[in-house]
Structure 1
Amino acid sequence: MSESAEHTPVISVRNLWKVFGPKAENVPENSALKGLSAAEVRESTGCTAAVRDVSFDVNKGEVFVVMGLSGSGKSTLVRCLTRLIEPTAGTLEFDGDDVRGMDTESLRTLRRHRASMVFQNFGLLPHRTVLDNVAYGLEIQGVGKAERRERAGEMVDKVGLEGLGHRRPAQLSGGQQQRVGLARALAVDPEVLLFDEPFSALDPLIRRDMQEEVVRLHNEEGRTMVFITHDLSEALRLGDRIALMRDGEIVQLGSPEEIVANPADDYVRDFVRDVPREQVISVRRAMRPADAGEAEDGVALTPDTLVSDAIEAVARSGKPARVMKDGKLLGVIDHDRLLSVVARLGEDDATGAAADEGKVAAV
């Protein structure tokens, strides 16, 4: 993931709703439904509010992850961004352009040139070679044969399929097929890549390889990405920011560190309970002011250094480590401080578990 995303919204969503059912357009305007659960809304209206009053920005160059369990609304949400599913209410802008107000031609341009989607089902054309599958989007755009094959060849190499351009999809593994889908999306040079649970059907080892491929491509190109997943480890690994959804609503939006360190409610706390926090929390949350003489000594770490890496650095040097940014000393992290942080994280987990046990006892 990028070290810092430019805070320039590429996608801006405000008060977005997608409601399925009779007279769906009345649901967003009905103030009596606010605060009701998804089941209560269905019982009251006969409608399913798959996306409920959602607002967020996707900044230029960031990986924005939308995470949630099955039925949370995350896949419906990503399809609303390019109107593959029509939103019921709210505003949706792409680089300042009103997506909901786009005519057919403008919408076609958005989907073909500006935003490309990578789906879980690869959607490859079985009778075409890898190279021709990758070139398909360019063919739809009207790009000449020689140019599109050259571009497709570059993308095939970029995603690690060198020498396989002549093969058919049936001759590839699942991971290789997904790489073809990724190359096809990249070939049209979109401003934004939209991933809808693209790796969930892959086995764990191939899935991790594909995650690493996304990280590598993002580091090389800095392309804006919206990534949908139900897997927390995948979200933490890929996301600059994560929007956690439940019943069509965003219950928390923040960096992986913010969500793990400061869960918004019990639902989020349950989600992140088993996360090795020292592998997500940075030293900026653990450092202390430097004592006299510590400013010139010890290993220098950035504020984004993970606690797990700081433990290794301090153990190796046998001295406190300095936390530095732009040549300025922000603080110090030492052995005792790191141990107390890890212990405190464990206490936080224990406190959460005790609270849950108390709730059960009270019931």
Structure 2
Amino acid sequence: MSESSPALQVDGLWKIFGQRADKVIGTPDALLSRADLKAKNGCVTAVKDVSFDVAPGEVFVVMGLSGSGKSTLVRCLTRLIEPTAGQITIDGEDVTKASESQLRELRRHKVSMVFQHFGLLPHRQVIDNVAYGLEVRGVKKAQRRQQAGDLVDLVGLTGYDESYPDQLSGGMQQRVGLARALANDPAILLFDEPFSALDPLIRRDMQNEVVRLQAELKKTMVFVTHDLQEALKLGDRILIMRDGEIVQIGRPAEVVARPVDDYVRDFVSDVPRSHVLTLEYVMRAPTPEDSREGPVMSMDTIVRQAAQAALASAHPVQVVSDGKLVGIVDDDAILRVVVAEESVPTAPTKQAV
């Protein structure tokens, strides 16, 4: 399989709950709203004709309000919930056609899942909880404990190898769950709202932990959340769902800068734009009259990160892509984003910023 091929590919995925679910797709009933379909024949469409790809090493976030279908979607990917129709391909293998034995191999070797509820074995120490998947695979005790010990250190639990789950905080228990998911060295990690039950400060720490681990391990991740701030922090791209359907897919800056409808616009209305938008979304086209002096920055530089250097310079920012000048960002463009969100009554001078 080439590196350019998707690690995960979903094509035309449906999940309809109800006795006559398989009779809905391909009929006019499939076009009905969720409420109308339920009223007509008692079926509920949880996932409706969803398609997307996830690149190797990408963190792909699926988000939406409660009942949007996001958790059902992620559970369909390994057939913990059986899809009604569509195709799911993981590492070139058609999951929807896999036998029971093939599914077991997929879940043991290629894909691991981290849930909101940790599911730790209370009578086992941390190191044995982490090593559980290796034990199921038949790895010898000495080897699995060595691998598990390395992962305990990796997720920041050094010294807690012999502790039991009830001796750990919620955040520490979730670190054990994360280490257990990594133990089989899966190609893909699936997260189903893993931090939603944690206190805000612990939740932030766990988000930072995922960012750190991703920078080190470069795993392919599908992360389900209802929290936009979490989605923006973790995601390379974000899929927003409503009533089982895709509303928008895009990079965090794209979703904030160019929401496709009022639903998404409401979602992102309180986001600090300077922390998300990149220079790509505030630059203008260069002209022959523009100075070619000033700070040089890439298109994907966050506005907040660029602000200090931009406002301290006597010349506008030169935005480049592949070594080519593609845009100009002047003080006004920076201030429109930074000052507006801070509700400063008047634009500050360069010395004051």
Q: Compute the TM-score of the two structures, normalised by the length of structure 1.
A: 0.89
2:17 aligned residue: 20
Secondary structure of the 2:309 match is helix
1:228 aligned residue: 224
2:151 aligned residue: 155
1:257 aligned residue: 253
Q: 1: CA distance between counterparts of 2:30 and 2:341?
A: 38
Secondary structure of the 2:283 match is coil
1:55 matches 2:51 = yes
1:332 CA drift (Å) = 2.5
State, as a whole percentage, how many aligned pairs show the same letter: 61
2:320 aligned residue: 324
CA 165–43 in structure 1, closer or farther in 2 if over 3 Å, else same: same
Matches within 5 A, 1:149-228: 149-228=145-224
In terms of mean alpha carbon deviation, does 52-61 or 126-135 score higher?
52-61
Q: 2: CA distance between counterparts of 1:214 and 1:100?
A: 29
1:294 aligned residue: 291
* Contact 2:61/2:237 (<8 A) preserved: yes
1:113 matches 2:95 = no
How many residue pairs were aligned? 339
2:349 aligned residue: none
Q: 2: CA distance between counterparts of 1:341 and 1:118?
A: 37
What letter is aligned with 2:330?
D
1:32 CA drift (Å) = 3.6
In terms of mean alpha carbon deviation, does 139-148 or 272-281 score higher?
272-281
1:15 CA drift (Å) = 1.0
User: Any idea what the Cα deviations from partners look like across 1:301-348, whole Å, max 9, x if unmatched?
Assistant: 1111112222222123444222233433333222123234568999xx
User: Any idea what the Cα deviations from partners look like across 1:63-96, whole Å, max 9, x if unmatched?
Assistant: 0000011111100110000000101111111122
What letter is aligned with 1:90?
G
Secondary structure of the 2:267 match is helix
Secondary structure of the 1:100 match is helix
1:351 aligned residue: none
Give the counterpart of 1:312 among 304, 308, 314: 308
1:11 matches 2:20 = no
1:8 CA drift (Å) = 2.5
Unaligned runs of 5+ in 2: 343-353
What letter is aligned with 1:134?
V
1:109 CA drift (Å) = 0.4
Give the counterpart of 2:72 among 67, 76, 88: 76
Q: 2: CA distance between counterparts of 1:82 and 1:281?
A: 34
Q: 2: CA distance between counterparts of 1:270 and 1:39?
A: 23
What letter is aligned with 1:66?
V
After TM superposition, the runs of 4+ consecutive aligned structure 1 residues lying more than 6 A away are 343-346
What letter is aligned with 1:163?
G
In terms of mean alpha carbon deviation, does 249-258 or 312-321 score higher?
312-321
Secondary structure of the 1:180 match is helix
What letter is aligned with 1:26?
K
Q: 2: CA distance between counterparts of 1:291 and 1:344?
A: 30
1:290 CA drift (Å) = 5.6
1:140 CA drift (Å) = 0.5
What letter is aligned with 2:14?
W
2:345 aligned residue: none
Unaligned runs of 5+ in 1: 1-5, 347-363
Q: Compute the TM-score of the two structures, normalised by the length of structure 2.
A: 0.92
CA RMSD of aligned residues (A): 1.8
